Amino acid sequence: MAVSPAKADLCLKNLVKAGVIAARNGGLYTLAYESAELAAHFLFVENNVHFRCGRQNDDGSVAAAECIFLQAGVHDVIMVDIAAGKLEISSLSSYAMIDAIKRMMTTAPSF
């Protein structure tokens, strides 16, 4: 996948607006405090759980969604949710991860 310098610069500026990274003098970027702390906690991923579900639509097409939980300690969990052509990354508690897994295993997908 090729990314133009202009597109990369635009993405970096959007990450600055979101507070994920910080702009420094000379066109340099660094992780913002919260992101740096999260990155330090995720140097070693201890567990990962990958869920994939789907449903056949009336027209025969298949709608699918999936998510990945990355756990780097008892209380350090990230969920990567992939659905409808979008990618969403969020941090959550260990209890919320277990609750989400239970919900996905007992509830039919609603997409």
18 and 72 both lie in a single domain: no
> Domain containing 32: what range?
5-40
pLDDT band at 69 (very low <50, low <70, confident <90, very high): very high
Which residues partner with 77 through β-bridges? 71, 92
30 and 14 both lie in a single domain: yes
Query: Any idea how long the chain is?
Result: 111
In total, how many domains does the chain have? 2
63 and 32 both lie in a single domain: no
71 and 98 both lie in a single domain: yes
Amino acid at 99: D
Q: How far apart are CA 56 and CA 52, in angstroms?
A: 14
Q: What is the pTM of this model?
A: 0.60
Distances (CA, A) of 39 to 9, 31, 53, 107, 108: 22, 9, 29, 32, 34
Which residues partner with 90 through β-bridges? 79
Q: How far apart are CA 105 and CA 23, in angstroms?
A: 42
Which one, of 11, 34, 13, lies nearest residue 23 by Cα? 13
Q: Output the pLDDT for position 93.
A: 87
Q: Per residue in 12-65, pLDDT tens? A: 999 889 888 888 888 888 888 777 777 777 778 888 999 888 888 889 888 778
